[in-house]
Amino acid sequence: MGNRLHAALGSMQQFCLRFFQPLNARSLLMLVICGLSAGLIWDTRPVLAQSPDAPSAAPTPEPTPEPTPAPALDSTINPLEPQPDPLLPQLVVDRPLSPQEKDVLRAALVELQAQAEAAVAAGNLPEAWQLFNRELRLRRYLSPREEVAALTRVGSVAWRESQSIELRFITLRLEQIQQEAGIPTGVTAAKPVAPAPVPTDPPAQIDYDLLLEIAQAYQQVRARDQAVALYQTLFERAKQQEDTAQQQQILLALAEIQLAWFDYPNAAVTYEELLTLARATNDRPQEIDALTQLAYVYQENSQPEQAVLAQQQLVEIYQRQNNFLPIPAIKLAMGNSYAQLNRPDLAATSYQEAFATARSVQQYAYAADALQRLAALYQTLNRPADALVVYQLLLDVNRQSYNSFGMMNTYDQIGQLYQVQGDRAQAVAAFQQGLQLAQQLNYRVEYFDGQVQQVSQ
């Protein structure tokens, strides 16, 4: 290759000496060498043969660029990590922002928040999350409390819009703030939820108010394990401090989480603690609420015996207060619980008491419900005579409340009961009464007419 280049350069030198005598041959030779080096004299690449008649190729038009969609959120890149931002002042040294600089940043973040919320309202979620994430990145330069408040607010939007990746990053940032506040998270996928140990450092080093706000933020973004663990830690400290108000606040939050996740066993434990606390502080409204929730939780968890205990305590409180309005509903629930316990005698008593109390306070719907359940109970016990007495009382209650529909159905039940007993005359009379009401209501007329015809034959 070197010999061929040397020969070519020699031939070029002779060419230059012959045709360009006025020029210095050595200078011209150097010009040619530079041209060769730059690829300006000739191209040594092979040339494709082309027909002289073939038209020259038209230049290929450049494709029109399509609009670039907003990038999807990468689940491996945390968008809440600090990034350079023009809203941040240029700092010569690493230092916190001054109060004046924070005020300027706050004003800018208010506008950024408004833009993000407008994007959500317009259905442009990719743009909204870019704005929200930028806002959250910058909130950390203000104060932990302001950042937690913003994480809670944006987390609520993320939950409403089913943005699971955003919720994960928000939860991660809350965990980081919790660590910085002095309480380890203590939550891993392989370990059960347990309260983190209360530090023995001086309390002044830990902002427990901030930690309570972090727990509430966990609750808002549905980070159940983190919320429960932190609430339990804060509850233990509140007990040490004998802060009954905060104990109650934390227990109510824990109960709300447990009910939301249908964790009835732990919810029962929490409401039992609330009941104890309410009685210790003589907080009657809180005692009533705890007993009401306990009755509900025990019923939902198929523990009728415990439910009855809570319901009976409620009845006693209301009776001492001469407040009879809530009692019929409670007595009805007690009757159901006793029926589950296979105690029909106690169930019948509860239904009778529910009826009597409801009628005395003119709660006709509860009175009718109690009688209906009592009549059904007597039928299961094969006591048709008692059931008929109850149905007659039920007719009277429905008359007092002008409930024609209820009366029609009661006559139907009476007619069926007489029919089973073989008392055709009484059955026909009941079905005829029902037919008259059905004609007035223009409802189930054919059914009652058919019953009358069938029993009369």
Q: What is the mean pLDDT of the chain?
A: 85
H/E stretch holding 214:
helix 208-220
Residue 408 inside a domain? The answer is yes
Give the per-residue pLDDT at 74.
Answer: 59
Residue 190 has pLDDT above 90, yes or no: no
Our count of domains for the chain comes to: 3
Residue 12 inside a domain? The answer is no
- C-beta atoms surrounding 294 within 10 Å: 25
Find the angle CA(92)-CA(97)-CA(100) to the nearest 5 degrees. Answer: 115
Residues 113 and 177 in one domain: no
Please state the rounded mean pLDDT for residues 373-380. 97
Residue 113 inside a domain? The answer is yes
Residues 134 and 216 in one domain: no
Q: Which of 195, 228, 259 is the last residue of a domain?
A: 259
pLDDT per position as a tens digit, 317-360: 999 999 999 999 999 999 999 999 999 999 999 999 999 999 99
Residue 80 inside a domain? The answer is no
Indicate the pLDDT class of residue 184, thresholds 50, 70 and 90: confident
Residues 115 and 154 in one domain: no
The residue range of the domain holding 106 is 102-142
Which pTM was predicted? 0.76
pLDDT per position as a tens digit, 42-71: 333 333 334 333 344 444 444 444 444 445
Cα(238)–Cα(273) distance, integer angstroms: 14
Residues 222 and 177 in one domain: yes
Residue 334 inside a domain? The answer is no
Residues 150 and 255 in one domain: yes
Q: Which of 228, 259, 290 is the last residue of a domain?
A: 259
Residue 432 has pLDDT above 60, yes or no: yes
Contact 422, 384 (CB under 8 A): no
Residue 116 inside a domain? The answer is yes
State how far the alpha carbon of 132 is from the alpha carbons of 126, 342, 357, in Å.
Answer: 10, 58, 57
Residue 163 inside a domain? The answer is yes
Cα(85)–Cα(91) distance, integer angstroms: 12
Indicate the pLDDT class of residue 186, thresholds 50, 70 and 90: low
Give the per-residue pLDDT at 39.
Answer: 39
Give 184's contacts (C-beta < 8 A, 6+ positions apart): 178, 196
Find the angle CA(91)-CA(94)-CA(98) to the nearest 5 degrees. Answer: 65
Residue 238 inside a domain? The answer is yes
